Amino acid sequence: MTKSAEAPNLVWHREPSNEPLPENDDTLVLIRDMIKAGQKNELIELMRRWDPVDAMQLLTRLRLKHARKLFRWLPANPSIKVIAALKPEYRSILMEEATIEQLRDILAGLDPEDANEILNEFPEDVAEEIARRLPDVEDVSFRQTFADDSAGRIMARKFVALPETCLVSAAITQIRSEAARIRKIFTVYVVDANGKLTGTVEVGKLLLAPANDQLGKIMNKDVVAVSADMDQEEVLRIARKRDMRTVPVIDAEGKLVGRVTPKQLTWIASEEANEDMLLMSGLSAEAKADDTVTRIVRGRLPWLLAGLIGSSIAATVVGSYEDQLAEAAILAAFIPVTMSLAGNAGLQASAVAVQGLATGALWSGDIVYRLLKELAAAMINGAAAGAILACLVMTASTVVVIEDPLRLALATSMSLLCVCTLAAMVGATMPLLLDRIGIDPAMAIGVFITTSNDVLGVLIFFVMATTFYLG
């Protein structure tokens, strides 16, 4: 264990994955008592050398009213770092009752894109009031005109854009002058007299080009840009497909207005992955760890009820074969096996389809080929599973009495072959159909795939049992 923040009589032990450590209990009690006693200056002095991550962990461990009070005590500089370390769900909670002026002082010390990201966590009226008072009010206000999760909302406004007639030597000088402001420059954007994007020049190519060449001569004219209104997930898909480090953003007139940086592309990928994971688990994409009971119930109950309806349909199918079960009770032992294989096969196929759609690796031109591959693989997997189950049935018949084990082995193995094949095809095609009609395909992996394959699995099992074992 490492002591990551330390001062006289005040020690904080870094908590892994926000798991509370008993070693911090005394510190929490001491800080709580100092907050109650109004010992602002003493507490701020003790926390002066704390790492922002430790301050964030402390704030999330305190009661909300104490956390808000402590945050208001923190001077603007440390508060900026604490805001950066805070998870989005905590930012809006902790700063909900802070004054507009203090928030303005804190956000004024951030880059406009970082300030904009934090403003997104506030209620709309509060965000607008703060934005009007920020030094970069035009930049922040411009971003606020775009929809959430759009390229315009997340783009960076710092970039190097030069005219086509600019010489290479002048471009290099411009890059040097902008280096401190932009920090990382990978690409120089080339624009015409109206500010419209016409090409790009990589910095490496620029350094090797003759000093007297114009940018219009050496630029790459095959430039890919995205609209400021484009959804961030589509931006990520284009960046991956074209192997782009940064993505230029243009307005409706084709003028360059910003760029999506590698940092922002990574952030989009993480956010979309978390959203897909929640949808795949049958949860709302808005679900958070600190949701109230009401929000938890509202987000989860519809999915649970959908699963209940599907299970009820499967139970109805089983009930309709009551006579067959009465004639051969041993069939009931194979129902869970069939449903499990159907669910797993469907989830595997749908997960691959969703991943292909998300990354852009699944193109419309090769859908038929991919489905044929899924069909072949599913038939091989189903045949292997059926053969193993048939062997198990025959082996068990030597130990326990099983009526006509050969026919039972044939019925169960055929059911697994058909179930695995059909479930895989449903799992592979449903995400494609949902994507075609504009629904997030990650939704297919949760309740829909499991429920549909359970029903189909049970139905196929009894058809095979009736045909090969009871027929």
Would you state the structure tokens that stand for residue 176, as one six-digit string?
């040097």
| Cα distance between residue 181 and residue 225, in whole Å | 23
Domain 3-148 listed as CATH 3.30.420.10: no
For residues 323-356, b (16+ Cβ closer than 10 Å) or e, as one string?
ebbeebebbeebbebbbebbbbbbbbbbbbbbeb
pLDDT band for 156, please (50, 70, 90 cuts). confident
Q: Decide if pLDDT at 399 tops 80.
A: yes
pLDDT value of position 105: 67
Q: Decide if pLDDT at 146 tops 70.
A: yes
Contact 405, 394 (CB under 8 A): yes
This prediction's pTM: 0.51
Amino acid sitting at position 350: S
- Nearest-10 crossing angle of helices 76-85, 100-107: 80
Half-sphere exposure of 456 (CA within 13 A, CB side): 23
Q: Decide if pLDDT at 8 tops 50.
A: no
pLDDT value of position 5: 46
pLDDT value of position 89: 56
Q: Which of 120-129, 375-384, 390-399 has the lowest mean pLDDT?
A: 120-129
Percent of the chain with pLDDT over 90: 6
| Cα distance between residue 202 and residue 395, in whole Å | 68
Number of H helices, E strands in the chain: 22, 8
| Beta-bridge partners for 187 | 202
pLDDT tens for 210-256 read: 989 899 889 988 888 999 889 888 888 888 888 888 889 988 888 88
pLDDT value of position 100: 62
pLDDT value of position 380: 93
Would you state the structure tokens that stand for residue 173, as one six-digit string?
């000088």
Domain range annotation of the chain: 3-148, 161-277, 293-468
pLDDT value of position 88: 60
Percent of the chain with pLDDT over 70: 72
Domain 293-468 listed as CATH 1.10.357.20: yes
Contacts 24+ apart (CB under 8 A), 111-115: 111/158, 112/136, 112/139, 112/140, 112/143, 112/157, 113/143, 113/154, 113/155, 113/156, 113/157, 113/264, 114/84, 115/140
Q: Which of 50-54, 284-288, 396-400 has the highest mean pLDDT?
A: 396-400
- Give phi and psi for 161, each to the nearest 5: -125, 125
What is 161-277's CATH number, 3.10.580.10, 3.40.630.10, 2.40.30.170, 3.30.565.10? Answer: 3.10.580.10
pLDDT tens for 402-441 read: 888 898 889 889 999 998 998 888 888 888 887 777 776 7
Amino acid sitting at position 396: A
Q: Which residues contact 117 (CB under 8 A, 6 or more apart)?
A: 154
Q: Decide if pLDDT at 259 tops 70.
A: yes
| Cα distance between residue 369 and residue 191, in whole Å | 42
| Cα distance between residue 145 and residue 127, in whole Å | 12
Contact 168, 216 (CB under 8 A): no
Q: Decide if pLDDT at 7 tops 50.
A: no
pLDDT value of position 207: 86
Q: For the residues 439-457, what does the mean pLDDT come to?
A: 72
pLDDT band for 166, please (50, 70, 90 cuts). very high
pLDDT value of position 92: 59
Q: Which of 360, 370, 352 is nearest to 269 (CA)?
A: 360
Mean pLDDT of the chain: 78
pLDDT tens for 452-461 read: 777 888 888 8
Q: Which of 69-78, 376-385, 435-444 has the lowest mean pLDDT?
A: 435-444
- The total number of residues shown for the chain amounts to 471
| Cα distance between residue 209 and residue 122, in whole Å | 48
| Cα distance between residue 198 and residue 70, in whole Å | 51
